[in-house]
Amino acid sequence: MSAIWLGIDTTSATGGVALVDGETILAESVLPVDTFHSEKLLPAVSETLDKVGLGGDELAGIGVSAGPGSYTGIRIGASTAMGLGSGWNVPLRGVSALRIIASQLPEGEPVLSCIRARQGEVFAAVFQSSSIDSKEILESGIYRVEKLKDHIPKGCCAVGSGRKEVQEVMAGRLKWVSPLLDTPRPSLAAWCACKSAEKEGFQKTLEPLYLREFNQRLD
C-alpha cells in the first residue's frame, strides 16, 4: 500500500500542491495564490501526480491546510480536497495553518504562530512546542496585536506572516525564525496531516478554520 500523501495549501499569498512520502518531498508546485484559483488547482494536482507516475486512487491520504488565512483560498482548498477524496476514495485530514508553520521549528520551546489578518489583528496561537500534537498555551483565534503582549512568554520562538504587526508591539521580546518559514507549504501540510492522522485518525469531512467569528478580547 502506498504511503504517499497529497498536500494542498491555498490559505496564504502562495498556494500549491505536493506529494510526500514520509519526510521525502517527491514533487511540489508553489505559485502565487492569485494564479492558483480553482481553475488552476485541479490541473496542478494532475501534473504533480504525473511527475511521480501515481494515480490519485493510490494515495494514502490527502492533507489540507484548513486555515486560518484567505477566506476564498480556504474554501477552494477544502472543497477541492473533499471532491478528490470522494472521487478517489482516499481519506482526508485537515491541519491548522498555524500548526503547520509552527511545526518547522525545533522542539522544546513555546512557539508563537501568527498570520496576518485585518489591520491591527493577527490570527495567532501559542503552542507548548512545535510538535504536531502539542497543547495550546494561547488558544487559536484572531487577536488585536496590542492585547497579545502580556499573554506570550518572553523569549518565545515566533514565526508567521504576522511578524511585522507583532514586532511593532513586541520588539525584542521574541525569537523570530527566518521569514522563509512564514507561510505553510503544501509539502508541510501533507506531512503534518499524515502525523495528525496517525494520532487522531482521518476526517469524513473537512472543517475550514476561518476563525473570523472568534475575536478574542484579552484583558
CATH of the domain at 134: 3.30.420.40
Q: What is the pLDDT at residue 154?
A: 84
Whether 75 has a pLDDT exceeding 70, the answer reads yes
Look at the chain and report how many structural domains it folds into: 2
Q: How confident is the model at residue 219 (pLDDT cuts 50, 70, 90)?
A: very low
Specify if 216 maps to a domain: no
CA–CA dist 124, 118 (Å, integer): 12
> Is the domain of 48 the same as that of 13?
yes
> Is the domain of 20 the same as that of 62?
yes
- The b/e string for 64-103 (b: 16+ C-beta within 10 A; e otherwise) is bbbbbbbeebbebbbebbbebbeeeebbbbbbbbbbbbbb
> Is the domain of 65 the same as that of 171?
no
The backbone torsions φ and ψ at residue 19, rounded to the nearest 5 degrees and listed phi first, read -120, 130
Residues in the chain: 219
Whether 122 has a pLDDT exceeding 80, the answer reads yes
For residue range 98-109, list pLDDT tens digits in order: 999 999 998 889
> Is the domain of 88 the same as that of 19?
yes
Candidate ranges 86-100, 117-131, 150-164, 170-184; pick with highest mean pLDDT: 86-100
| Mean of per-residue pLDDT scores for the chain | 91
> Is the domain of 160 the same as that of 175?
yes
DSSP 189: H
| Amino acid in the structure at residue 29 | S
Q: What is the pLDDT at residue 35?
A: 62
Specify if 77 maps to a domain: yes
Mean pLDDT over 58-71 rounds to 96
Q: Is the Cβ–Cβ distance between 43 and 29 less than 8 Å?
A: no
Q: Which domain holds residue 201?
A: 4-96+183-211
> Is the domain of 92 the same as that of 102?
no
> Is the domain of 61 the same as that of 113?
no
Q: Which residue stretches of 93-209 are H helix?
A: 97-102, 163-169, 186-200
Specify if 73 maps to a domain: yes
Q: Is the Cβ–Cβ distance between 128 and 110 less than 8 Å?
A: yes
Q: What is the pLDDT at residue 61?
A: 98
> Is the domain of 103 the same as that of 88?
no
> Is the domain of 121 the same as that of 149?
yes
Q: Is the Cβ–Cβ distance between 141 and 132 less than 8 Å?
A: no
Specify if 123 maps to a domain: yes
> Is the domain of 118 the same as that of 78?
no
